[in-house]
């Protein structure tokens, strides 16, 4: 039985001039005001994505590289300049991994963190300082769009290091463990959340976000096909699947305890900003299914609507 359904919501482009103060800050700047370079008086897409705007956000090795990137961007500007279907969105037939890209979500998450969206970024270039830019982007999104992860949180993994398919589920903290980011050995989830040395927890930033799971014995996680836990939502990812400069395919997860629209908003910003870092990137759909295999939604990214 075909369980595919049309998505009920399509992400929309957010003009650069509407971005948060975080995106306008220069390093060391503390007044919280956007720079002049981030202001744009027009809502016209051609002006928003002008060469001047892009020059300030990206670095180029040559003028020809700069022009190439500008030409690439202008293909995806919505409006009368481009009416055909956006080529950025990867069709399912464009890439055949030999298995269906699905995420199974369990019903018992309704009480703690029920909203989940997932997709894959293919053909990503994170070489050089692009990896650092991508990590910093996630930090900024968590702070602004995610409201310090109270509204939504992002988890990203090197897809080549993930045993597929994955499952979004609840797991008991005392009977399951994971190797958190920057750690070398697996740790019991309860220990990771509540019993770790404070200095170590601060290093992993667990102490900053663990209150989101206060009073919960079974926590929301993403479990890989081999049984390993790759994400403790919304706290940390695992070390084994961390993003690096050699990563070319990224599994993106966004969760929320508030609404699925909060997830979509975060994905919207993440995809747009990642595209500025890696212009050749493609977006691939992930089908989210329930315990019975019924399709909950397929995330489709469309810049034209």
- Domains in the chain, CATH or no CATH each: 90-298 (3.50.40.10)
Query: Phi-psi region for residue 279, left (φ > 0), alpha (ψ -120 to 50) or beta?
Result: alpha
Average pLDDT rounded to a whole number, residues 164-179: 94
Evaluate whether 248 touches 85 at the Cβ level (below 8 Å). no
Task: Inform me whether the pLDDT recorded for 122 exceeds 50.
Answer: yes
Stronger pLDDT, 225 or 111, i.e. the higher one: 225
Spell out the alpha helix ranges (H) of 90-150: 130-143
**Residue 302: how many CB atoms within 10 A of its CB?**
16
pLDDT digits 0-9 by tens, 200-234: 554 556 767 887 888 788 999 999 999 999 999 99
pLDDT at 297: 65
What is the predicted pLDDT for the residue at 290? Answer: 81
Record the pTM. 0.67
Output the six-digit token pair for 181.
């980011």
Q: What is the mean pLDDT of the chain?
A: 72
pLDDT of 67 reads: 58
Q: Which two tokens stand for residue 204?
A: 């992993």
Q: Show the CA angle centred on residue 96, arms to residues 94 and 101, nearest 5°.
A: 105
- pLDDT band for position 288 (50/70/90)? confident
Write down the pLDDT at residue 197.
59
pLDDT band at residue 248 under the 50/70/90 scheme: very high
More confident residue, 253 or 63: 253
Rounded Cα gap, residues 89 and 75, in angstroms:
13
Weakest mean pLDDT among 67-81, 146-160, 212-226, 286-300: 67-81
Q: Above pLDDT 70, what percent of the chain?
A: 61
pLDDT at residue number 212: 84
């Amino acid at each position: 039985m075909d369980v595919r359904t049309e998505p009920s919501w399509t992400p929309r482009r957010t003009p650069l001039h509407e971005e948060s103060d975080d995106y306008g800050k220069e390093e060391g700047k503390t007044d919280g005001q956007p720079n002049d370079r981030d202001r744009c008086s027009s809502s016209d897409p051609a002006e928003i994505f002008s060469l001047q705007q892009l020059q300030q956000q990206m670095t180029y090795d040559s003028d020809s590289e700069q022009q190439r990137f500008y030409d690439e961007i202008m293909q995806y500007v919505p409006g009368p300049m481009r009416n055909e279907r956006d080529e950025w969105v990867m069709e399912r037939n464009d890439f055949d991994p030999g298995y269906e890209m699905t995420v199974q979500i369990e019903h018992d998450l309704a009480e703690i963190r029920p909203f989940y969206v997932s997709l894959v970024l293919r053909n990503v270039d994170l070489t050089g300082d692009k990896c650092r830019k991508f990590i910093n982007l996630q930090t900024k999104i968590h702070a602004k769009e995610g409201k310090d992860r109270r509204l939504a949180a992002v988890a990203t993994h090197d897809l080549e290091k993930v045993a597929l398919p994955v499952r979004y589920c609840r797991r008991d903290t005392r009977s399951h463990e994971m190797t958190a980011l920057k750690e070398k050995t697996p740790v019991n989830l309860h220990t990771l959340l509540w019993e770790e040395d404070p200095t170590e927890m601060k290093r992993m930033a667990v102490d900053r976000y663990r209150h989101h799971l206060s009073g919960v014995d079974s926590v929301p996680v993403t479990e890989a096909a081999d049984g390993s836990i790759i994400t403790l939502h919304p706290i940390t990812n695992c070390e084994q699947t961390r993003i690096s400069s050699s990563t070319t395919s990224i599994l993106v997860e966004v969760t929320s305890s508030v609404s699925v629209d909060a997830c979509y908003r975060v994905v919207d910003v993440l995809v747009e900003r990642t595209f500025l870092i890696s212009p050749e990137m493609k977006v691939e759909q992930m089908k989210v299914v329930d315990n019975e295999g019924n399709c909950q939604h397929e995330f489709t990214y469309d810049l034209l609507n």
